[in-house]
Structure 1
Amino acid sequence: MKRLFSAACAAAALAGSLQAAEITGGSFDLSTSAFADDTDYARTAVGGAVELGFSRSFSTQLDLFYADFNLTDLEGANATLHGIAHVSSTTSLGLFYGIEETGRDEYDFYGIEAGHEFGFADAEFYLGEGDDGAISGTIAGVAFRRDVNSQFTVSAGLDHLDLGNIELTRIAASAQYDVGKGAKFYGELGSLNAEAQNLSGNEAFVGIGFRWDFGGNRGTTFGRRGLVNKLPGL
């Protein structure tokens, strides 16, 4: 994971050298998930993100994520950098680039993204490409989030990744409860249709986690990209 670590350090050093930037939001979370039919296929993960604002209309976001997969003894990690233009108080457009490693496999991914705050819910969309040097494919997703009240939020998302020998479609719904000062507990229920390594066919999964959002934006503008954080277990 030397390349991944170097990319994260370079991004952090760049951020530290930009005196005009200020932290507008960030998050940290711990989670575990497993397939409903066989909990040996599980994942324990930790992730964090920080967003730096340079002006009211431009910011950058750095995501870091690490996962340990139970049954296969694989480890996976990724780092993603977003460049974000806030075109209005309700709409943001972005470009993202990431590096991901799982075992001996490594690939880059990049693409476009957009987010909009509707009156009834917030929506997010991304479209891009993943490339491991020999095979390239499409990554895409959409997500919606709605605040039921000041403490309770529900969300749903659909992700599709077609990376040659790995193809998956992930559908999930989650609910989170805010216990105060940005701390939240959440639960997730979903379905994964996959053709990858030990996975084949359609399987239900469940997950739980703890998340802490900080900053004026109550977290970051965009969610995570890549394959590792979409797999609930291996």
Structure 2
Amino acid sequence: MKLLASSAVALALAAAPAMAFQFTGGNAELSYSAFTDDMDYSKAGLSGQATFAFGPQLGAQIDAGVSKFFEVGETAHDLTLHGIYNVAPEVAMGVFYGAERIGGNSRDFYGFELTQKSAMFEGELYLGRGESVRYDGMLAGISGSYNVAPEFGLGLAYDRADIRGLDMRKYAITADYALSPDISLGAEIGRFKADLDEVHGSETYVGLNAKMYFGGGDATFSRRGVLDIIPGL
């Protein structure tokens, strides 16, 4: 699976010089999340995404971000590449390959993804795997949102990562409000559950974000990664 995902991303990028190259949109985002029982266990992040088209059907997306986990005092960095195939104007499938680093430890992750976007509804799912020198396991997620008004949407999301000795699940209710075509504010409330070899726990968390769009569009896929699932440390 790792070879297929990384090869597909490389193929999409290698095809760029032979096709029309066009920047189609992206975003920059500020985010913050914390557990309600102890707000010291929190995370703040700055991230960006950019999408490029190599013709009517092929494309690529790059994600980059930095996050600060306040209680443990560690900073995480991540970088992800997506290869995109536009099945239809509102449907895209793709593969992703990325890496994240925190506290001197690094992990790469890869997998497949699918999204559908229309004026009223957005849905997305992904299935992948995370690997490091010592640990490996699966990661997966599904999300959907419905625009109850032109500027306001409500959604549900579920993410899971089962990495040898650590089983994480996150359930969320999300809301987004468009201040303008280029700026939106978001909020979420959810439940994060982590089952370690000897520790089990479930906590409520809240999150806020502000996003700015540029280039006349947005990224095709959401961000990926194991650390992206964790609301705070």
Q: How far, CA to CA, are the matches of 1:119 and 1:178 in structure 2?
A: 14
Name the counterpart of 2:3. Answer: none
Partner SS state of residue 229, structure 1: helix
Matches within 5 A, 1:67-86: 67-86=67-86
| TM-aligned CA deviation for residue 196 of structure 1 | 5.6
| 1:186 Cα offset (Å) | 1.2
Shift of 1:147: 1.5
Q: Note closer, same or farther for the CA distance 1:51–1:118 as it changes in structure 2 (3 Å cut).
A: closer
In the alignment, structure 1 residue 184 sits paired with structure 2 residue 184: yes
1:21-170 alignment, distance < 5 Å: 21-117=21-117, 121-170=121-170
State the shift of 1:151 in Å: 0.9
Amino acid at match of 2:84: I
Deviation at 1:156, TM superposition (A): 1.5
Measure how far apart 1:36 and its partner are: 0.5
Amino acid at match of 1:212: M
Work out the CA distance in 1 between the residues paired with 2:165 and 2:77.
Answer: 19
In the alignment, structure 1 segments of 5+ residues that lack a partner are 1-10
Partner-residue secondary structure (3-state), 2:228: helix
Tell me the distance in 2 between the aligned counterparts of 1:109 and 1:135.
12
Match of 1:6 in 2: none
Structure 1 residue 120, shift from structure 2 partner: 5.3
Unaligned stretches of 5+ residues in structure 2: 1-9
Aligned to 1:232: 231
Q: In the alignment, is the contact (CA less than 8 A) between 1:67 and 1:228 conserved in 2?
A: no
**Local SS of the residue matching 2:149:** coil
| Post-superposition offset of 1:154 | 1.6
Q: Counterpart of 1:75 in 2: which secondary structure?
A: strand
Q: How many residues are aligned here? A: 220
1:37 to partner: Cα distance:
0.5
State the partner residue of 2:171.
Answer: 171
Structure-2-length-normalised TM-score: 0.88
C-alpha RMSD of matched pairs (Å): 2.2
Q: Percent identity?
A: 32
Q: Secondary structure at the match of 2:205?
A: strand
State how far apart, in whole Å, the 1-side matches of 2:182 and 2:166 are: 36
Q: Which moved more, 1:188-197 or 1:33-42?
A: 188-197
Which one-letter code corresponds to 2:219 in the other structure? T
Q: Deviations over 1:167-212 (max 9, x none)?
A: 2001111111111131011111011001369x84100000112111
- Give 2:221's aligned residue: 222
TM value normalised by structure 1: 0.87
